[in-house]
Structure 1
């Protein structure tokens, strides 16, 4: 019932305003039959006060002053000033309290009480005591101001809640966009590492096989078998990485009946990585210092990718024949170092190089660790990453 009436009032504001003022006028005018010079002057004063309420929203202070003046004239004419007679004053003061600053509303409330009480006490035709003439009007005026202050406070609270909700919504959208951007960077980094490593390894294996085809065909055939494994592994990792971009409910997914994707790689696959580089002509030695401890999945993947990228850079950019991977386990950190012997002459940079060191540094920072890279005094190049075992 109430929601329907509220919707009707929202659709017909002028009609509701007219009905409200007519009811207010009827209630106020009824009080003028008690004492005073008769109905005539009272009806005119009530009509003027109620009509002034049409401008209470645009000029609340002026309407409060006018309705208070009407109430004081009522007392001067000898009418009994009751809370019902003061209804126009109460409505105007309520509107002022809702819209005006709190200090202004308080000053107006005190002024209205002073004027109305003074007019009521000055009325010579009222035989009531001063308490009966002063307390009810003053109480009704204070009650109207208090109600207006409460409504004002509630509106301010709702506005603050709405503002916070809008801010929270904007913040969620910004956080969502940031997460999307970070995920894109992560997937791009994965794709770079997978493609760069496997393509460099496949290129090295193919070059070695071509070089040995005539002189050592058996070893060339073995390297070609390793090349097949390298490309198959590249396809599997690309499938796993690109599969992250697919929705689980995509229709007609060609991989619906494919074998489950292998888990993310970690340091447990170092022997496989070392074997692949050995087939490409790079001898890799792995040493472990300290008690080997299990890593969290994110740190394990980061450590493997850094080793993979570092060895790939050795194969692409250095004429080195050997590389060393050192894993040093401490209480809460893993320090991994990949270095090479430098070879006899540097190789020209491979096309598209330049992002390997940046990617490794970003991976280490994303895991909460540190990364360093540079030339060694004894020759060659080394990269070092310190990673937390459990970030």
Structure 2
């Protein structure tokens, strides 16, 4: 069964039980107290009939009011026991107040009090005194219903704000998780692509030395190539460990290690030279924000990796320049390779664009007119992205 329909049926059942209970209470009062004449057949019919609409009091309070008020008025006009329908009348007034607006509650309250005064007008001073007493009960029920209505509205508003804040918090948490996953993916790509490319180049060197002239084997060259491979593996393992530490649930942020920056660019140039490329490095820039330095490092790393992998020349030359100009860090990497422009699309350029965008910069990359490939990044030095790039 539909949960909303089940809830509606439960509310109707509760109101029906309440109406039946109030009818029994009214019957006991009618035969036990003497505030009017004891009901006859017409009186019992009116008394029991005015309780029936209460089964729909929360579904259609105004309709129930319009049905019950005439029945109550006729009942009192016949001078039947006046206390018997009091409980039903108070429940009706409370329902009207708790389900309606303040203006409607005040209007109905004034109308009910006015009707009561008309009914009691011919009872003299006794009627006036009784009218004040009844009016006090009427006002009390209306005030109680209005207070609970306002309280519920404030509670619902507070719950809605809390739920909205919780949804916002969850969305922010999901966004941060997505950004962290993207950052880790970029780091793993940059690290593994760079290291695997160097290992591949050095393995090729070792294989070439072994197969070119087995009778005149250059053991020193083979040993150097293998040592270079081992060094690359150790460096990659250390950086990979640093990168993956962010996945540890119990690892505090300060265990991640320092961000790579401009000071590590000579190491990148050295590894590219070991792979056979001629690297010309110019880094006059010095102190820059950590996020900007990390972005510049990763851009140069990816550009060097692509140049070594796709350059296609034994005498490949790569020029790397990092300069501060007009409030921004300019990173230029140009190679004269043969295959860089024809490199298949992958995650490298995508990762570079994401890193540049994370610090509010711009990136242009593409093949040169003659041969080679050029990468240019402009990274603003004033950035709030220090924690976004690694």
- SS of the residue 1:384 aligns to: strand
1:181 shift after superposition:
2.5
- Partners of 2:322 and 2:55 in 1: CA distance: 84
Q: How does 1:288-303 map to 2 (within 5 A)?
A: 288-289=283-284, 292-296=286-290, 298-303=291-296
- Partners of 1:144 and 1:15 in 2: CA distance: 21
1:116 shift after superposition:
1.8
Residue number among 231, 242, 254 corresponding to 1:229 in the alignment: 231
- Partners of 2:21 and 2:89 in 1: CA distance: 15
- Partners of 1:262 and 1:178 in 2: CA distance: 24
Verify the 8 A CA contact 1:316 1:349 in the aligned structure 2: no
Verify the 8 A CA contact 1:208 1:281 in the aligned structure 2: no
Unaligned runs of 5+ in 2: 1-10, 384-390
**Does the C-alpha gap of structure 1 residues 13 and 67 become closer, same or farther in structure 2, counting only changes over 3 Å?**
closer
Verify the 8 A CA contact 2:20 2:51 in the aligned structure 1: no
- Which residue is 2:202 aligned to? 205
- Partners of 1:166 and 1:92 in 2: CA distance: 33
Residue number among 366, 372, 380 corresponding to 1:374 in the alignment: 366
Per-residue CA distance 1:162-211 (angstroms, 9 max, x = gap): 33433443443333333333222221211111111011112222333444
The number of equivalent residue pairs is 360
TM-score computed with the length of structure 2 as normaliser: 0.75
**Does the C-alpha gap of structure 1 residues 160 and 347 become closer, same or farther in structure 2, counting only changes over 3 Å?**
closer
1:241 shift after superposition:
2.6
Q: Does 1:324 align with 2:319?
A: yes
Q: How does 1:245-260 map to 2 (within 5 A)?
A: 245-248=247-250
- Which residue is 2:3 aligned to? none
- SS of the residue 2:322 aligns to: strand
Q: How does 1:1-391 map to 2 (within 5 A)?
A: 17=18, 21=22, 25=26, 29=30, 33-34=34-35, 36=36, 38-40=37-39, 44=44, 49=50, 53-73=54-74, 75-77=76-78, 86-100=86-100, 105-121=105-121, 123=122, 126-128=123-125, 132=129, 134-211=131-208, 214=213, 217=218, 218-219=220-221, 221-248=223-250, 263-289=258-284, 292-296=286-290, 298-318=291-311, 319=313, 321-330=316-325, 332-340=327-335, 342-343=336-337, 345-346=338-339, 354-376=346-368, 379-391=371-383
Deviates more, 1:378-387 or 1:128-137: 128-137
**Does the C-alpha gap of structure 1 residues 361 and 51 become closer, same or farther in structure 2, counting only changes over 3 Å?**
closer
1:355 shift after superposition:
2.0
Per-residue CA distance 1:244-294 (angstroms, 9 max, x = gap): 334449xxxxxxxxxx9864432222222111111111121221345x214
Verify the 8 A CA contact 1:335 1:384 in the aligned structure 2: yes
What RMSD in Å do the two structures reach over aligned CA positions?
Answer: 3.9
Unaligned runs of 5+ in 1: 1-9, 250-259
**Does the C-alpha gap of structure 1 residues 70 and 172 become closer, same or farther in structure 2, counting only changes over 3 Å?**
same
- SS of the residue 1:33 aligns to: coil
- SS of the residue 1:191 aligns to: helix
Verify the 8 A CA contact 2:15 2:55 in the aligned structure 1: no
Per-residue CA distance 1:216-237 (angstroms, 9 max, x = gap): 9345543432222112212222
- SS of the residue 1:72 aligns to: helix
Verify the 8 A CA contact 1:81 1:120 in the aligned structure 2: no
Give 4+ residue runs of structure 1 displaced > 6 Å after superposition.
12-16, 79-82
- Partners of 2:116 and 2:16 in 1: CA distance: 31
Per-residue CA distance 1:115-169 (angstroms, 9 max, x = gap): 2221121x3xx23088646554445434422322222222233333333433443
